[in-house]
């Protein structure tokens, strides 16, 4: 435990345009997962802080100017925020790396993507028509369908991509004219706190943006059930997402859930027919499974490879996985950082232990690495792990591990590959590798996953909707559908020549 007197305590609850401490005075140390040392102290909010923040957002929506601000002005503010993110890219990228344990390079890319999201939603809302005219069959009737903001939005974000996931909610919520309260993960809140400061600097009116730093079981639960919240958007695990939906049900508020995934990466033998094709497929399988230490909802954690190339493919995959350089993300040459917490590492270890007991064959990894100057013994590091000879009955294949663990299954026919890829209660994302364009489109069309990459893995486009099937959630983020989540639809019917109806005689 770090000496908290050497740390700078921060007032990180922002409500109604004012930064302050928690009502209870409680604080939480934020740990660097590379060495388990605290590098900041933040306010630890609870239900009382949440009520204050929601009340501020409610007043700002009901009485403030933001919902009635012209879309051109709202778009201009979002573009100013994007400019501020570019200005502070290095500082924010470093903070994201320290907070979440990723490399600085990954942190910088995240900030670039956040800026892109703000620009995209600014452009999208500014280019929209004011409404959709509905033909009522009479020149005396003006009928139009318009979009209006939902109201007060409760935004609950995960710990793996703190600022990126926050931007996917905050940018469209603001573009649509809403006010919001955001609760970042209590493990990785730092960059979301910084973003609230940038929104204020960009000129957002007081009360539109509010943040409560604190745990999910108090702050998140209160946000989901609060009667003055009109929408709750949650990104995280299945268990927590189910609780959010249950808490929101009595008030029948809108709910958007982006939950977990158990994503297949299907490799056909023809994709490996050339040395270049083989090398690319292996490289992308490593990227799919081990970027950010596998702590990605869309991670390609299930390698499903055609039997005829399985042995060679897995051998090369394991050889290269062993060479991945683990360490503190700020160190030169480091390719993969630690897991986010001791609890997360213990969870990963339990999955690997159960897989080995159930018959999986360990090809590499499966343990904590030896300490090194760039990899302190106190950090939450775990070696990239490849588990061969896996099957659907194993927990490690069925459940989301959220760590650097890749399982290997094999198939012989296209139908078998599709059946294996779809044999999951999740349906977030998947990949298909083949040199046959017809097969690529055919298999992609049969996969029950919200995003399917063909001969690639992990890229996303701000213009394209992101969401899943099955237990991967009900919400859609990015693209026009991402903006639609934060809107209500209203039909305005205007009679230009009203006359008596005369249904009744009086």
Residues forming the active site: 258, 297
Distances (CA, A) of 221 to 84, 155, 215, 438: 32, 12, 9, 47
Residues 407-437 as b or e (16 or more Cβ within 10 Å = b): bbbbbeebeebbebbbbbebbbbbbbbbeee
- Residue positions counted in the chain: 506
C-beta separation of 35 from 5 below 8 A: no
Pairing of strands 264-267, 429-433: parallel
DSSP single-letter state for residue 219: I
Separation between Cα atoms, residue 36 and residue 33, nearest integer Å: 5
List of residues 6+ apart from 124 with CB closer than 8 A: 175, 480, 483
- Sheet containing strand 429-433, edge to edge, reads 361-364, 385-388, 405-411, 302-306, 264-267, 429-433, 451-454
Distances (CA, A) of 49 to 16, 55, 287, 379: 12, 10, 40, 32
């Amino acid at each position: 435990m770090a000496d908290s007197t050497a740390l700078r305590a921060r007032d990180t609850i922002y409500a109604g345009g004012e930064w302050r401490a928690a009502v209870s005075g409680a604080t939480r140390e934020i740990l660097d997962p590379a060495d388990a040392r605290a590098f900041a102290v933040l306010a630890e909010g609870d239900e009382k802080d949440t009520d204050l923040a929601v009340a501020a957002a409610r007043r700002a929506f009901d009485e403030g100017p933001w919902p009635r601000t012209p879309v051109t002005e709202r778009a201009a503010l979002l573009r100013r925020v994007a400019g501020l993110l570019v200005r502070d890219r290095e500082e924010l990228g470093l903070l994201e790396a320290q907070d979440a344990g990723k490399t600085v390079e990954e942190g910088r890319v995240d900030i670039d993507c956040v800026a892109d999201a703000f620009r995209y939603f600014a452009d999208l809302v500014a280019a929209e028509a004011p409404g959709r005219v509905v033909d009522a069959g009479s020149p005396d009737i003006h009928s139009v369908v318009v979009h209006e903001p939902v109201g007060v939005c409760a935004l609950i974000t995960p710990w793996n991509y703190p600022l990126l996931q926050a931007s996917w909610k905050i940018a469209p919520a603001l573009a649509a004219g809403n006010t919001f309260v955001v609760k970042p993960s209590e493990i990785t809140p730092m960059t979301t706190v910084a973003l609230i400061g940038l929104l204020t600097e960009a000129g957002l009116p007081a009360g539109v943006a509010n943040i409560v730093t604190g745990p999910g079981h108090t702050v998140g639960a209160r946000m989901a059930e609060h009667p003055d919240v009109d929408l709750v958007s949650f990104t995280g695990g299945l268990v927590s997402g189910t609780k959010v939906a249950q808490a929101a049900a009595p008030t029948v508020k809108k709910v958007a859930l982006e939950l977990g995934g158990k994503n297949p990466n299907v490799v056909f033998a023809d994709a490996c027919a050339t040395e270049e094709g083989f090398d690319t497929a292996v490289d992308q399988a490593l990227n799919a499974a081990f970027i950010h230490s596998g702590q990605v909802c869309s991670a390609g954690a299930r390698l499903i490879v055609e039997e005829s190339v399985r042995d060679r493919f897995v051998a090369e995959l394991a050889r290269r996985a062993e060479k991945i350089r683990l360490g503190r993300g700020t160190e030169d040459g480091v390719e993969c950082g630690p897991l986010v917490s001791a609890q997360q590492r213990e969870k990963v270890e339990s999955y690997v232990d159960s897989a080995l007991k159930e018959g999986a064959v360990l090809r590499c990894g499966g343990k904590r690495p030896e300490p090194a100057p760039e990899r302190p013994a106190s950090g939450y590091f775990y070696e990239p792990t490849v588990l061969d000879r896996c099957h659907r009955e194993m927990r490690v294949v069925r459940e989301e591990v959220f760590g650097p663990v890749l399982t290997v299954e094999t198939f012989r026919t296209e139908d078998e590959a599709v059946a294996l890829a779809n044999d999951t209660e999740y349906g977030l994302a998947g990949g298909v590798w083949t040199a046959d364009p017809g097969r690529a489109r055919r298999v992609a069309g049969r996969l029950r996953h919200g995003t399917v990459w063909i001969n690639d893995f992990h890229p996303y486009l701000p213009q394209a909707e992101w969401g899943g099937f099955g237990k991967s959630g009900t919400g859609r983020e990015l693209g026009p559908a991402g903006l639609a989540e934060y809107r209500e639809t209203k039909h305005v019917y205007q009679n230009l020549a009203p006359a008596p109806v005369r249904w009744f005689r009086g």
